Structure 1
Amino acid sequence: MTTTRHLTILTGASRGMGLAMARQLLTPDLQLLCISRRASDELNELAKKKGAALTQWTQDLADTGGAAARLQAWLETLDTKTLQSATLINNAGVIPRIGPLEDCPPEDLANALRVGLEAPMQLTAAFLRATGAWVEKGWRGPRKVLNISSGLGRNAMAAQAPYCAAKAGMDHFTRCSALDEARREHGARLVSLAPGVIDTDMQSQLRAGDPAAFPDRSRFVELQRQGQLTSPDDAATRVLAWLQRADFGTQPVADVRD
């Protein structure tokens, strides 16, 4: 008897909400591929305890073409008879030096846009190509892409041009690709989801910004002081619950707080 599983691919799984999502996704009925700069021994041990199928790649997502080619080649090797569904979660992102755009080193700016925008686009394209070929051969499992966006993609903030631009681009390419997939029979469903304000290393980085270069720093300090930050575990639960909504994809740009 063939064992069938749900396939999920998750980027940025080594820390923060990504790590929390990976922990929650480790179940016997799911096959999980994590793509991060480093592998997690914790996830390997947890997968063994839970009897979950886990693969971890150490991959620099700034190598966007290499990451996408690797993903597509891997997807093409899978036996679709063992898969009930396929999901890609683009979670990885980078905040470069906090300050006005002209103060951001060119290499940091390029890296933030590669990891935060180009990589999700390349990985989504590879995922849609490979799984679209499955559909052409008769596979009928649901296909989903969940892009982890941010309120900063929808609201401008001083000293955050690279990150805001990457997330705004993520929102808009999700809208465009959702329109493309809606024209196809058995097309994939896509959502760019803002997960709320989460207590992660990224928040620590923002609170540590130079007040002279980052006029909104006090806002992030107050969010922590007033206990308004969501824990990575709670945020992961809310994001993964969104994936299971019956109306997933009908609103391609969304916020968990809606």
Structure 2
Amino acid sequence: MLVRHLTILTGASRGLGRALAEALLQPDALLLTIERHPDPALQARAAASGAHLEQWSQDLAETLEAAERLQHWLQTLAPSALCSATLINNAAVLPRVGPLQNLSPVELSRALRVGLEAPMQLTAAFLRVTDAWVREHDWDGPRRVLHISSGLGRYPMAGQAAYCAVKAGLDHHARCTALDEARRPRGARIVSLAPGVIDTDMQLQMRTSDPAGFPDQGRFLQLHASGQLASPQAAAQRVLAWLHRSDFGEQVIADVREAN
């Protein structure tokens, strides 16, 4: 029986998430992607590579539904068929750029639920089930949780209150969870990783935002004009290189640009 590496990835339909999904489609992979719109082309790539891919159409703003669905699915798996288990919380929503009061309650709620509440709920479900594998089946595969964070979680910026708060929340969630897991036998490792500046739709949204509500717009225009944006594919390789480091988890708050 082929023993596979399990990875759960949110937000795999475009940008960094899509590039991560493509890179993860290896012959020994069991990849579950969670996004609004599954992609038949990705399914074809998985079939060609020998990877086992499952794609869920799931609105991550429905956080309880998503977490319960993940927990139930994980409970159907046989730990003996897996040699590792990884959760990558990549999905996020960048609401309209500008002062917080310009956002509708619906926009603000969706950004917070998809970007912060969903990762916390999914992480809890992931740890709950995989901890049972360790206790009840003596499973000793590595367990990893990777939050895709941002420099904006560590540095404040006008016009970005919701997004900055979400990413800062992910960072602090990782810090606290790392402390909890360090107290458990064979606890999971967790990292909140900033992936650098990437040429994605989010960058385009910031470059085209109204400078009246976003005084740092020029900075993002300059990053693009000077060719400092990494491609999603290059960023994905750097993220996965960090994920597979032997010391993963020792530095809980990290940035790919700090790799040595």
Query: TM-score scaled to structure 1, two decimals?
Result: 0.99
Deviation at 1:36, TM superposition (A): 0.4
User: What residue in structure 1 maps to residue 214 of structure 2?
Assistant: 214
User: What residue in structure 2 maps to residue 69 of structure 1?
Assistant: 68
Deviation at 1:208, TM superposition (A): 1.0
Paired residues of 2:19 and 2:236 also in contact (CA < 8 A): yes
User: What residue in structure 2 maps to residue 60 of structure 1?
Assistant: 59
Structure 1 unaligned blocks of 5 or more = none
Matched residues in 2 for 1:134 and 1:245: separation? 23
State the Cα deviation string for residues 210-234 of structure 1 (Å, max 9, x = none).
0111111111111100000000000
Matched residues in 1 for 2:99 and 2:216: separation? 12
User: What residue in structure 1 maps to residue 196 of structure 2?
Assistant: 196
User: What residue in structure 2 maps to residue 121 of structure 1?
Assistant: 120
Matched residues in 2 for 1:20 and 1:165: separation? 25
User: What residue in structure 2 maps to residue 163 of structure 1?
Assistant: 163
State the Cα deviation string for residues 123-161 of structure 1 (Å, max 9, x = none).
000000010010011111110000000000000000000
State the Cα deviation string for residues 59-114 of structure 1 (Å, max 9, x = none).
00000000000000000000111100000000000111111011111110010000
Query: TM-score scaled to structure 2, two decimals?
Result: 0.98
Paired residues of 2:28 and 2:50 also in contact (CA < 8 A): no
Matched residues in 1 for 2:232 and 2:11: separation? 13
User: What residue in structure 1 maps to residue 255 of structure 2?
Assistant: 255
The AA in structure 1 aligned to 2:72 is A
The AA in structure 1 aligned to 2:22 is R
Matched residues in 2 for 1:50 and 1:173: separation? 35
Paired residues of 2:67 and 2:121 also in contact (CA < 8 A): yes
Matched residues in 2 for 1:81 and 1:257: separation? 36
SS at match of 2:257: coil
How does 1:167-186 map onto structure 2 within 5 Å? 167-186=167-186
Percent identity over the alignment is: 65
* Pair 1:235 & 2:235 matched: yes
SS at match of 1:257: helix
The AA in structure 1 aligned to 2:134 is V
User: What residue in structure 1 maps to residue 47 of structure 2?
Assistant: 48
Paired residues of 2:27 and 2:50 also in contact (CA < 8 A): yes
State the Cα deviation string for residues 165-202 of structure 1 (Å, max 9, x = none).
00000000000000000000010000000000000011
> Greater CA deviation, 6-15 or 45-54?
45-54
> Greater CA deviation, 69-78 or 38-47?
38-47
Structure 2 unaligned blocks of 5 or more = none
* Pair 1:149 & 2:154 matched: no
Deviation at 1:40, TM superposition (A): 1.0
User: What residue in structure 1 maps to residue 20 of structure 2?
Assistant: 21
SS at match of 1:125: helix
Matched residues in 2 for 1:42 and 1:232: separation? 17
The AA in structure 1 aligned to 2:250 is T
The AA in structure 1 aligned to 2:98 is G
> Structure 1 runs of 4+ off > 3 angstroms?
none
Matched residues in 2 for 1:237 and 1:164: separation? 24
Matched residues in 2 for 1:5 and 1:256: separation? 26
The AA in structure 1 aligned to 2:201 is D
Aligned-residue CA RMSD (Å): 0.5
How does 1:103-142 map onto structure 2 within 5 Å? 103-137=102-136, 138-142=138-142
Matched residues in 2 for 1:81 and 1:251: separation? 29
The number of residue pairs the alignment matches comes to 257
User: What residue in structure 2 maps to residue 86 of structure 1?
Assistant: 85
